[in-house]
Amino acid sequence: MTDRASAWLRERLLGDRDAAGLAAFRVAIGLLALVSALRFLHYGWVDELFVRPRFFFTYSFAPFVQPLGATGMRAVFWTIAAAGALVAAGLFYRAAIATLFVAFTYVQLIDVTNYLNHYYLVSLLTLLMSFMPLGACWGLDGLLRARRTGQPARTTLPGWCYALLRTQVAVVYTYAGVAKLTSDWIVYAQPLDIWLSSRTSLPVLGPILAHPFAPHAMAWAGCLFDLTIAGWLSWRRSRPLAFAAVLGFHAVTRYLFPIGMFPFIMISAATIFFEPSWPRRFLPLAPARPSPLVAWPTPRFAALVVVTGLYAALQVLAPLRTFIHAGNVHWHEQGMRFSWRVMVREKNASVLYYVDDLTTGRTVEVKPRRYLDARQEREFGTQPDLVLQLGRHIGREWEARAGGPVRVRAEVLVSLNGRRSQLLVDPEIDLLEIDDAYAGRWILPEPKGSPPFLHGGERSATAGY
């Protein structure tokens, strides 16, 4: 690395940046965690999602994660609420943000059917924030330290704090746009056509959504928004209009779709791209005190470059695994999770298991409802690895009951973006003999032809069947 490049990189990663912007982001994340946890407790979602279910779908990389029972799970959510409040206040920040990351991530790992992209994003953001001294900047930690030592509270942060968070948010938006570059989304406006068709009775927007061009207009606008918004937010001249677009985009999606805290998280995350001093326009904050560039020794600086570079590379490369697998990822789901494919497919499934007792020759039909609640049943059937996971559980249970070997088969009918339902997996395959959910040919090819279009015009609701 040349001296000039090294100096530029040092300034980008170690140079002072006004801490006000990330202090505001810290407050937003803390308050969102607090409000989210209290909502789960108030509406009884803790019991509904983590206590009442009889079976939980585990992640292959964390099969040991299990719920803690009613009292334990409520305690976890009260912990998230308390940690969120402390993060927002900047009090005991290091312990609070680490606790928030661990508790929030633990909750998300309990059941795969609870997976949402914005929950994954919150885990990543809190992980990154755990390594940043945000409590010392416009937080109670900094205020108490200043009173104790007589030294003024910290007002600046090294550049790598902004760089990493901006990279993370840019990756989310960009891959959400890349995921929309499919014929179903771009050409046939699916699944937006399906969703908007059910919302034409809404006040104000309903008549607009009923127009035949509405799904295509929104599909193209959504794709272009996701692909470019990080760039527009990064450019000072376009930033005001870009943020207005962020507010409008997420206000509309919040109005149309039940997506919880996602719009608020993304609006808060967009502020990371602002000038670091932006809160000073609205709050009477003390001016930032610039300090000379940190003279880190070369080995320590090299370690920072490697760690930040590896993290950024991981975030950029991990979603690309969806392109390694042949076929339609929205059908076979290989690489679907953790790749920022946000609201890009509508799938419905019907699942029946068949248990063949190899001793008696008898076949028994087993319905998933015997093990799952209604929400889990809606979610799991479209994901082959979860179909396999429940099938193995059923097999173990019936082998213990029958006292001998059994075969477990699954008839899984799935509809993708309004197409007619067809078999997702081979119904003659014994699920107990499958070691890898995505190995072999037990997942059948995706449906052919175009999806239907429900907004009228020359194409009928059965086009493409």
- Judge whether residue 363 has pLDDT over 80: yes
Look at residue 288 and tell me if it is in a domain.
no
The whole-angstrom separation of Cα 97 and Cα 208 is: 43
Question: pTM value?
Answer: 0.93
Look at residue 6 and tell me if it is in a domain.
no
Torsion sign across C-alpha atoms 240, 245, 247, 248: positive
Look at residue 118 and tell me if it is in a domain.
yes
The whole-angstrom separation of Cα 330 and Cα 90 is: 41
More confident residue, 125 or 7: 125
CA distances (Å), origin 143, targets 28, 86, 147, 287: 19, 14, 6, 15
Q: Please report which confidence band the pLDDT of residue 294 belongs to, taking 50, 70 and 90 as the band edges.
A: low
Look at residue 244 and tell me if it is in a domain.
yes
The whole-angstrom separation of Cα 369 and Cα 52 is: 13
**Across 315-340, average pLDDT:** 92
Instruction: Examine the domain organization and report whether 60 and 174 are in the same domain.
Output: yes
Of 49, 30, 93, 155, give the one whose Cα is nearest residue 376.
Answer: 49
Structure token digits, residue 191: 């699944």
Q: Which of the listed ranges 178-187, 280-289, 296-305 does the model predict with the highest average pLDDT? A: 178-187
Instruction: Examine the domain organization and report whether 159 and 81 are in the same domain.
Output: yes
Look at residue 186 and tell me if it is in a domain.
yes
Instruction: Examine the domain organization and report whether 377 and 277 are in the same domain.
Output: no
Domain range for residue 228? 14-283+298-323
Instruction: Examine the domain organization and report whether 304 and 424 are in the same domain.
Output: no
Instruction: Examine the domain organization and report whether 371 and 247 are in the same domain.
Output: no
Q: Could you give the number of structural domains in the chain?
A: 2
Look at residue 328 and tell me if it is in a domain.
no
Is residue 265 a contact partner of residue 122, using CB atoms and an 8 Å limit?
yes
Look at residue 341 and tell me if it is in a domain.
no
Instruction: Examine the domain organization and report whether 305 and 367 are in the same domain.
Output: no
Instruction: Examine the domain organization and report whether 308 and 174 are in the same domain.
Output: yes
Instruction: Examine the domain organization and report whether 53 and 166 are in the same domain.
Output: yes
* pLDDT per residue as tens digits for the range 12-39: 898 889 999 999 999 999 999 999 999 9
Least confident of 75-89, 106-120, 287-301, 374-388: 287-301
Of 52, 42, 46, 122, give the one whose Cα is nearest residue 87.
Answer: 122
Task: Identify the bridge partners of residue 408 per DSSP, sorted by sequence position.
Answer: 355
More confident residue, 341 or 7: 341
Q: Please report which confidence band the pLDDT of residue 9 belongs to, taking 50, 70 and 90 as the band edges.
A: confident
Instruction: Examine the domain organization and report whether 439 and 317 are in the same domain.
Output: no
- Judge whether residue 176 has pLDDT over 70: yes
Strands (E), 373-450: 406-416, 422-423
User: What pLDDT shows up at residue 289?
Assistant: 72
User: What pLDDT shows up at residue 441?
Assistant: 83
Look at residue 291 and tell me if it is in a domain.
no
User: What pLDDT shows up at residue 327?
Assistant: 87
DSSP string over 18-66:
ESHHHHHHHHHHHHHHHHHHHHHHHTTHHHHHHTS-S--PPPTT-TT--
* pLDDT per residue as tens digits for the range 128-147: 999 999 998 889 999 998 88
Instruction: Examine the domain organization and report whether 382 and 247 are in the same domain.
Output: no
Instruction: Examine the domain organization and report whether 91 and 215 are in the same domain.
Output: yes
* pLDDT per residue as tens digits for the range 389-425: 999 999 999 999 988 999 999 999 999 999 999 999 9
Q: b/e map of 237-272 (b: 16 or more CB within 10 Å)? A: eebeebbebbeebbeebbebeeeebbbbbbbbbbbb
Is residue 420 a contact partner of residue 447, using CB atoms and an 8 Å limit?
yes
Instruction: Examine the domain organization and report whether 318 and 383 are in the same domain.
Output: no
Is residue 176 a contact partner of residue 226, using CB atoms and an 8 Å limit?
yes
- Judge whether residue 324 has pLDDT over 70: yes
